[in-house]
Amino acid sequence: MSATPAEELFAQLQSQAAALPELPGVYRYFDAGGALLYVGKARNLKNRVTSYFSRSHDGTRIGHMVGKIARMETTVVRSEAEALLLENNLIKTQHPRYNILFRDDKSYPFLQLTGVAREAAAAGADAPAQAPEQQFPRLAYYRGAIDKKHRYFGPYPNGWAVKETIQLLQKVFRLRTCEDTVFANRTRPCLLYQIKRCSGPCVGAITPAAYAQDVQHAEALLRGQTQQLLQELEARMLAHADKLEFEQAAELRNQITALARVLHQQAVETAPDQDVDILAVRVQGGRACVNLAMVRGGRHLGDRAYFPQHVEDAAALWESTEAVESAEDADVTEATAQAAAPGQGGAAQQAAHTIEAQVLEAFIAQHYLGVPVPPVLVTSEPISAQLLQALAEQSGTRVHAVHQPREQRRVWLEMAQKNADLQLARLLAEEGSQQARTRALAEALDLTAEDLDALTIECFDISHTAGEATQASCVVFQHHKMQPSEYRRYRIEGITGGDDYAAMRQVLQRRYGKLAEAMRAAAQASAEGAAGAPAVEAGQGGAPGKSRARLPDLVLIDGGKGQVGVAREVFTALGLDIARIVGVEKGEGRKVGLEELVFADGREKVALGHDSAALLLVAQIRDEAHRFAITGMRAARAKVRVGGGRLEEIPGVGPKKRARLLQRFGGVRGVAEASVADLCTVEGISRALAETIYHALR
């Protein structure tokens, strides 16, 4: 009997695995559609990959994944540490289906000190001439790429922690926070100078050398060197007093008093540690939470919770390969075992054998790819020596992990564990509520989706002001939550201003026109028995425009019979199922909770009741579509009215010149109203460029 295609593919994968080298590396599994299923690392590629195809995994999650594997790729590296870093780089960028995945929605904020002030302090009066912004560094809140010209402190867990630190430094050292353009154009001190939050460098109220000393003292405080800083300030105060320089001594006395007051206020949060990250993990109900608390300069700055995806799949996959992992760990040399950080004990010399440890290690490996790792990690679970080695190689500094801390570190860890418990309980409660709402809506509308997790709803809304800047929005609900990355805005053009029906017709045609064509092509290919037809489905998952395009289970229209009628015409013309269309019609007096659902297929209106879980979900999605549409409309309208964007499009006007123009004239409108002669008064604006700007903005 000849082998089936599946058996031939499995045999081919087995032979590829048998031919792999016995070296460290990373392996990747792909399905027939090219989607990445899993990324793994191995100390011995041949042994690890062969284990997937040399035993039966029937009825398990790993068996389900192995059955999907169509091809594999491997990369050989020099060490297991390199393999770990490459593995998590791929996980973070490629989002495989069966790996624990942490997604960070935004970068961490830093505190930035611009320029360099040390040289000015060292050189004193002989310091070389510098631009004012270089002589007087600015204290600023910062997100983004690191520029080596400046100094950065952090990262901080949130923007509030940075702003609080800036206020603290303003109280004690009175460093400037104004933009360079504002600083360069000041002729008299600002309000911050009047309330003693700035030393007034913009108007020469402080010398560059004195300001540079304040900057150095601020850096010392940020590094947690508080005692050394107080001793230095006291010594300088006494020296001035001995020289009968009582005004300077009084200034230092006030600075010491302010610093002591701040340190007293922060007494509960301060400790001898300088920079420490505290990580606690909790796993419950198939979900996990990692709570990260940050200590910077000895101050506890707060925490942030992270919720990984794919925990159940990754956990089951890990359990199925645990025997292979344990066998590999048995081969670790004594030298590698001794490399484990102190405080880990024997647990650090072995691979983690709990799902909590797996989640925590996944977080550490992915999180510190783009964030500086502090010298000390306090963790609720033991961390493997291989992971610490990889972190040390990446950062260039030794990383010390403590699993069973004492004294202040123990208090910090207990706080982090408590917060992880609370955050996970909140998430489970919210998800349970959302799942109940999804189930209630599916039952109320007789939706036949087999998997409620994959139930997809798209909602459309139109927004304009008296026909101006008409925008249409489409928001997507899937996996029991809104999916902002799938939202789309549509600029509506070529219609009579204020014609909502025409706007709705246009957005639905644009959204589903190509999908309908693809569905017809797939149906025709299927009828003809053609192989390799494009995969187009209707009912579950994804949004239009993806490689596997699908029609949503429900299309919500913000409107009544008129808008639903337009949607029915569009769907009929495209050959799509009109039963998916539901309008959300405002009730009597347009009161929330009195909405009625209007169906395109002729069914009677349905009033679900103000306390209905299904109506709460419909209102949530409808309100999000309205919010997304109106914010887009307002932005478009503002751009039209103030000429936003036109200044950026003028040749020869770069970021610096644009900043000078906006600073001088107070905005784009002021620039547009300025004469050529006025424009020429701005630094860097020639007569020819002024004429270009003048004509471009009119």
List, as one string, the DSSP characters of 605-645.
PB---TT-HHHHHHHHHHHHHHHHHHHHHHHHHHHHHHTTT
**Quick one: how many helices (H) and strands (E) in the chain?**
25, 20
Most confident of 153-162, 181-190, 335-344, 554-563: 554-563
Query: Edge-to-edge strands of the sheet including 276-284?
Result: 299-306, 287-296, 276-284, 376-379, 400-402
CA-based R_g, the chain, Å:
31
pLDDT (0 to 100) of residue 351? 40
On the question of pLDDT at 449 being above 70, the answer is no
**What average pLDDT does the segment 604-625 reach?**
86
pLDDT (0 to 100) of residue 589? 59
> Which residues on neighbouring strands pair with residue 325, listed in sequence order?
none
Of residues 318 and 586, the one with the higher pLDDT is 586
Q: What is the band of 132 on the pLDDT scale with cuts at 50, 70, 90?
A: low
Spatial distance between the Cα atoms of 454 and 542, rounded to a whole number of angstroms: 8
Q: Which two tokens stand for residue 505?
A: 């017709």
**What average pLDDT does the segment 569-580 reach?**
92
pLDDT (0 to 100) of residue 393? 83
Of residues 497 and 283, the one with the higher pLDDT is 283
Query: Mean pLDDT lowest for which of 261-265, 661-665, 670-674?
Result: 261-265
Of residues 155 and 539, the one with the higher pLDDT is 155
pLDDT (0 to 100) of residue 425? 87
Q: What is the band of 565 on the pLDDT scale with cuts at 50, 70, 90?
A: very high
List Cβ neighbours of 431 (8 Å cut-off, separation of 6 or more): 287, 480
On the question of pLDDT at 574 being above 80, the answer is yes
Share of the chain above pLDDT 90, in %: 14
Share of the chain above pLDDT 70, in %: 80
Spatial distance between the Cα atoms of 279 and 110, rounded to a whole number of angstroms: 20
Of residues 187 and 557, the one with the higher pLDDT is 557
> Reduced to 3 states, what is the DSSP secondary structure of residue 131?
coil
Do 302 and 160 meet the contact criterion of CB atoms below 8 Å apart? yes
How does 154-168 read in b/e, with b if 16+ C-beta sit within 10 Å? bbbbbeebbeebbeb
pLDDT (0 to 100) of residue 660? 82
Q: How far is CA 128 from CA 117, 154, 208, in A?
A: 12, 31, 11
pLDDT (0 to 100) of residue 555? 94
pLDDT (0 to 100) of residue 11? 85
Of residues 325 and 295, the one with the higher pLDDT is 295
List Cβ neighbours of 209 (8 Å cut-off, separation of 6 or more): 120, 121, 123, 124, 125, 127
pLDDT (0 to 100) of residue 380? 92
pLDDT (0 to 100) of residue 488? 92
pLDDT (0 to 100) of residue 523? 78
Query: Mean pLDDT lowest for which of 118-132, 166-180, 636-650?
Result: 118-132
HSE-up of 292 (CA within 13 Å, CB side)? 26
pLDDT (0 to 100) of residue 269? 43
Q: How far is CA 572 from CA 445, 456, 460, 557, 569, in A?
A: 21, 21, 18, 16, 5
pLDDT (0 to 100) of residue 320? 55
> Reduced to 3 states, what is the DSSP secondary structure of residue 169?
helix
Do 186 and 202 meet the contact criterion of CB atoms below 8 Å apart? yes
Q: Which two tokens stand for residue 232?
A: 């230095």
Domain boundaries, the chain: 5-94, 125-265, 276-427, 452-624, 643-696
Spatial distance between the Cα atoms of 342 and 171, rounded to a whole number of angstroms: 40
pLDDT (0 to 100) of residue 525? 77
Q: What is the band of 554 on the pLDDT scale with cuts at 50, 70, 90?
A: very high
Burial class (CB in 10 A: 0-12, 13-18, 19+), 506: buried
On the question of pLDDT at 417 being above 60, the answer is yes
CATH number of 5-94: 3.40.1440.10
**What average pLDDT does the segment 214-242 reach?**
77
On the question of pLDDT at 461 being above 90, the answer is yes
Cα angle value 267/268/270 (rounded, 5°): 65
pLDDT averaged over the chain? 79
pLDDT (0 to 100) of residue 345? 42
Do 389 and 81 meet the contact criterion of CB atoms below 8 Å apart? yes
On the question of pLDDT at 235 being above 70, the answer is yes
CATH number of 452-624: 3.30.420.340
Spatial distance between the Cα atoms of 617 and 619, rounded to a whole number of angstroms: 5
**What average pLDDT does the segment 40-58 reach?**
82
Q: What is the band of 450 on the pLDDT scale with cuts at 50, 70, 90?
A: low
On the question of pLDDT at 568 being above 60, the answer is yes
pLDDT (0 to 100) of residue 256? 73
Of residues 174 and 534, the one with the higher pLDDT is 174
Burial class (CB in 10 A: 0-12, 13-18, 19+), 357: buried
Q: pLDDT tens, 11-36?
A: 888 888 888 998 989 999 998 888 88
Do 458 and 476 meet the contact criterion of CB atoms below 8 Å apart? yes
First-last CA distance in the chain: 81
What is the topology classification, in CATH, of domain 276-427?
A: Nucleotidyltransferase; domain 5 (3.30.420)
pLDDT (0 to 100) of residue 691? 87
On the question of pLDDT at 509 being above 90, the answer is yes
Q: Which two tokens stand for residue 7?
A: 């058996």
pLDDT (0 to 100) of residue 57? 65
Spatial distance between the Cα atoms of 541 and 616, rounded to a whole number of angstroms: 22
Q: Which two tokens stand for residue 477?
A: 């609900």
pLDDT (0 to 100) of residue 141? 87
- Give one word for 605, left, alpha or beta, with left for phi > 0 and alpha for psi -120 to 50: beta
Helix or strand run (H / E) with residue 319: helix 311-320
pLDDT (0 to 100) of residue 547? 39
What is the topology classification, in CATH, of domain 643-696?
A: DNA polymerase; domain 1 (1.10.150)
Query: Mean pLDDT lowest for which of 206-215, 322-331, 479-488, 611-620?
Result: 322-331
Query: Mean pLDDT lowest for which of 52-56, 182-186, 688-692?
Result: 52-56
On the question of pLDDT at 123 being above 50, the answer is no
pLDDT (0 to 100) of residue 58? 64
pLDDT (0 to 100) of residue 85? 82
Q: Which of 545, 542, 552, 546 is nearest to 460 (CA)?
A: 552
Spatial distance between the Cα atoms of 325 and 329, rounded to a whole number of angstroms: 6
**What average pLDDT does the segment 403-428 reach?**
88
On the question of pLDDT at 543 being above 50, the answer is no
Q: Which two tokens stand for residue 66?
A: 């192995």
The reply to whether domains 5-94 and 276-427 share a CATH topology is no
